[in-house]
Structure 1
Amino acid sequence: MSVAVLGVGMHPWGKWGRSFVSYGVHAARAALADAGVPWTDVDLVVGGETVRNGYAGYVAGATFAQALGWNGARVATSYAACATGAQALDTARARILAGLCEVALVVGADTTPKGFLAPNAGERWDDPDWLRFRLLGMTNPAYFAMYARRRMDLHGATPEDFARVKVKNARHGLANPNARYRKQVSVEDVLVSAVVSDPLHLLDICATSDGAAAVVLTSLDYARRHGSASPVRVAAVSTVTPAFPNTVLDMPMLSTDSAGVVGAPERTFKESIAHAAYEEAGIGPEDVGLAEVYDLSTALELDWMEDLGLCKPGEAEALLRAGDTTIGGRIPVNPSGGLACFGEAVPAQALAQVCEVTWQLRGQAEGRQVEGARVGVTANQGLFGHGSSVVLSV
């Protein structure tokens, strides 16, 4: 079963110095206008929570509903770090499929601090991300660097490969009016930028940004009644958690047979996120026409290509070098420009990906259009052992 994506909207990413609420309202109104849906028809508002933005962020659903003007809609609020938008989308989708509402507005917005994102106040001794911050002093760039180093050791990736990811995404982002960074760069530009955490340079990692994205979901009946015969549809939302004993995000657990011989590893948790989405949508990675993935660092994009099954482990660099992941290639990755061009506005990120895939499937991504795409997939990693993937189709 699926629901219609009738409208999408964004507030441009940047550092604007205003409340996250103003960004969310801007994106929401853009999505409603895109859908041609009056605010009075919205009967559910789901807000992506922004924990660092105070009380209003903790009750984001009600915050956005109030700012748009009370209309009697029900509200809900979701928090899942970088996977927040997808979980909020799933909440709205579930109520529509259950027949409990017809029109849902999903909004994510953020106002971020300068520099690295830091853990919130309090002690969380069972949270591995809190522990790496507090005990190891390991901010996100150092964490990303460990992924990059592992990729170099396992698959022979080079700093030049990571730089090529940035070059590709920067080129894609040139035509995106919502992107914060719209400037072409070269491999040399990346490699001469400051080393932040070896082997990653400044241009290998994304910034923190202000921004917002919003999506209007409706039942298929509502969409048809309002003149949309073949809307973009949400074919699947995966928000699975690990299954014991494979409880680590990236490392497969080795199994043994009765003789104690180590067998082939099961899929990693990140692979299972995509597998669950494909299974629910009734498709395989070979059906995907484009992907919007979580590129907090250039090396992470290469990992996600393999986690999504777009290529086999160790093959991402070859696809990149061959131009297969650029617009016009076999499987364009991050045609929006990705987080490389946007930066992190945490509760908005997964929704921004849905916006981009929707524009692409409609044929409205001017200047960065992926021709002929009928299925798009997104991927995000959240904190505390979870993540998300959304499949959209026409």
Structure 2
Amino acid sequence: MDDVALAAGGGAGVTAEVAVLGAGMHPWGKWGRSFVEYGVVAARAALADAGLQWRDIGSVIGAGTVRGGYPGYIAGATFARALGWQGSRVASVYAACASGAQAVDAARAQILSGQADAVLVVGADAAPKGFFRPAGGDRPDDPDWLRFRVLGATNPVYFGLYARRRMAVYGDTTDDFAQVKVKNAAMGALNPRARYRSPVTAEEVAASAVVADPLRLLDICATSDGGAAVVLASMEFARRHGHPEPVRIRAVSTVTPRFPNTVLDLPDIATDSAVAVDPPGGTFRMSIAGAAYEEAGIGPEDLSLAEVYDLSTALEVQWYEDLGLCGAGEGVRLLRDGATALGGRVPVNVSGGLASFGEAVPAQAIAQVCELTWQLRGEAGGRQVAGARVGISANQGLFGHGSAVIAVR
């Protein structure tokens, strides 16, 4: 797509792009093996897809997993060693669910600065069964540890509160949420890399066990093992190696939330003298998407598809609004109209999403970029979005980590 057309969505925009030469994944599941094995399989698949040898890679960025112990903390070096030392740079990134996207951003920075021509980005996880909890023992200075331990608000509880709020404010129903699962399961059934590959009915969602009212078991994603990798390169390197028109990453957003500057209005109590201001408009997730749109010079109207973090069915509906696909409270209408289904105006989670994969934390944001790559190349088979030219991935992780990646063809 030419730059003029992409810029039609507005925003300052930049033209600094990197090429996606290869994408690879280890299928999701519960395999009972080391995360390193999953990452190596994904890395080799990405290299083969790019038509490159391991020795062609100048840098490895590993998306970390704290559950992997020391090897997980030094994921870049761990994967480089497993593939065979060959002198490449290494770096490791940990940012909860946004780890993969921050690894992509680090790789992009190395390429654009001239430190490396081709960078391998890898993330993999061997996730425990059950609710995630902060690793490393008690951490009273960690707001997520406090949420889990003091409030008892494990992730499903958090998702349930979000769902209940949507029901109260916008009139969403549990039947609406179930339709997200039905949609995503239908796509996962077409994806050979997904863990769950069977269609699901709304009746099956309604019959599944209540986990955090109003959400049921099939409303919430599982935890999984899996791995994903991409090979990124400069545009010059891409052309030299037989990729004249590759998929390109045009923007990466890794913003954090904003807190308003407020003044307490209490009698006889000294308060901060700073002038109070209105809270920032919109949600944190709107900021995540907005920063990516501004950098890419596009708007939501330019999107062909989106891959979002559907930790629960209700959260996917929230993403429709936060990505600007519709106004506040209109997400369910978009869903009911089929706009986010395959063949709709902006298909969302045609990979099957977390509903079909489960969550392998450091791999997930990279897996989203893999799906965008295959869609923009026209290589997604039965779940292909016709004429896909622009895609966005988005997620939100613990401790204020958020990310979005915009890819174009």
Query: TM bucket by the smaller chain?
Result: over 0.9
2:73 corresponds to 1:22? no
* Percentage of matched positions with identical amino acids: 70
Name the SS for the 1:81 alignment partner: coil
2:208 corresponds to which residue?
A: 193
Shift of 1:163: 0.2
Residue among 21, 39, 52 paired with 1:6: 21
CA 1:264–1:134 in 2, change beyond 3 Å: closer, same or farther? closer
2:340 corresponds to which residue?
A: 325
Q: Could you tell me how far apart the structure 2 residues matched to 1:59 and 1:366 are?
A: 36
The C-alpha deviation readout for 1:263-282, integer Å capped at 9, x for no partner, is 79612221011000000000
Name the SS for the 1:379 alignment partner: strand
Name the SS for the 1:317 alignment partner: helix
Name the SS for the 2:157 alignment partner: helix
Contact 1:246 1:269 in 2 (8 A): no
Shift of 1:246: 7.6
1:254 corresponds to which residue?
A: none
2:285 corresponds to which residue?
A: 270
Contact 1:215 1:355 in 2 (8 A): yes
The C-alpha deviation readout for 1:328-363, integer Å capped at 9, x for no partner, is 001100000000000010000000000001000000
2:358 corresponds to 1:346? no
Contact 2:184 2:356 in 1 (8 A): yes
Superposition CA RMSD, Å: 1.5
2:135 corresponds to which residue?
A: 120
Residue among 300, 303, 327 paired with 1:312: 327
Q: Could you tell me how far apart the structure 2 residues matched to 1:112 and 1:275 are?
A: 31
Name the SS for the 2:295 alignment partner: helix
TM-score if structure 1 supplies the norm length?
0.95
5+ residue gaps, structure 2, are: 1-15, 263-274
2:105 corresponds to 1:75? no
The C-alpha deviation readout for 1:106-160, integer Å capped at 9, x for no partner, is 0000001111111112333332211111112221111110110111111111000
CA 1:246–1:140 in 2, change beyond 3 Å: closer, same or farther? farther
2:270 corresponds to which residue?
A: none
2:211 corresponds to 1:209? no
Q: Could you tell me how far apart the structure 2 residues matched to 1:212 and 1:8 are?
A: 11
Of stretches 226-235 and 28-37 in structure 1, the one that deviates more from structure 2 is 226-235
Q: How many correspondences in the alignment?
A: 382
Shift of 1:244: 3.8
The C-alpha deviation readout for 1:49-81, integer Å capped at 9, x for no partner, is 110111110110000000000010000000000
Q: Could you tell me how far apart the structure 2 residues matched to 1:306 and 1:312 are?
A: 6
1:335 corresponds to which residue?
A: 350
Q: Could you tell me how far apart the structure 2 residues matched to 1:246 and 1:376 are?
A: 35
1:387 corresponds to which residue?
A: 402
2:69 corresponds to 1:62? no
Name the SS for the 2:324 alignment partner: coil
2:268 corresponds to which residue?
A: none
Contact 1:363 1:369 in 2 (8 A): yes
1:89 corresponds to which residue?
A: 104
Read off the aligned partner of 1:81 and give its amino acid letter. Answer: A
Q: Could you tell me how far apart the structure 2 residues matched to 1:52 and 1:262 are?
A: 41
1:157 corresponds to which residue?
A: 172
Q: Could you tell me how far apart the structure 2 residues matched to 1:317 and 1:334 are?
A: 15
CA 1:61–1:165 in 2, change beyond 3 Å: closer, same or farther? same
Q: Could you tell me how far apart the structure 2 residues matched to 1:246 and 1:387 are?
A: 22
CA 1:157–1:225 in 2, change beyond 3 Å: closer, same or farther? same
TM-score if structure 2 supplies the norm length?
0.91
Matches within 5 A, 1:40-59: 40-59=55-74
2:192 corresponds to 1:177? yes
Read off the aligned partner of 1:145 and give its amino acid letter. Answer: G
Q: Could you tell me how far apart the structure 2 residues matched to 1:243 and 1:296 are?
A: 23
1:295 corresponds to which residue?
A: 310
Q: Could you tell me how far apart the structure 1 residues matched to 2:280 and 2:122 are?
A: 38
2:182 corresponds to 1:167? yes
2:116 corresponds to 1:101? yes
1:255 corresponds to which residue?
A: none
1:257 corresponds to which residue?
A: none
Residue among 231, 238, 252 paired with 1:223: 238
CA 1:52–1:131 in 2, change beyond 3 Å: closer, same or farther? same
2:387 corresponds to 1:376? no
CA 1:229–1:63 in 2, change beyond 3 Å: closer, same or farther? same
Name the SS for the 2:31 alignment partner: coil
5+ residue gaps, structure 1, are: 248-259
Q: Could you tell me how far apart the structure 1 residues matched to 2:207 and 2:261 are?
A: 39
Residue among 287, 300, 312 paired with 1:285: 300
Name the SS for the 2:403 alignment partner: strand
Shift of 1:379: 0.6
Q: Could you tell me how far apart the structure 2 residues matched to 1:168 and 1:77 are?
A: 35
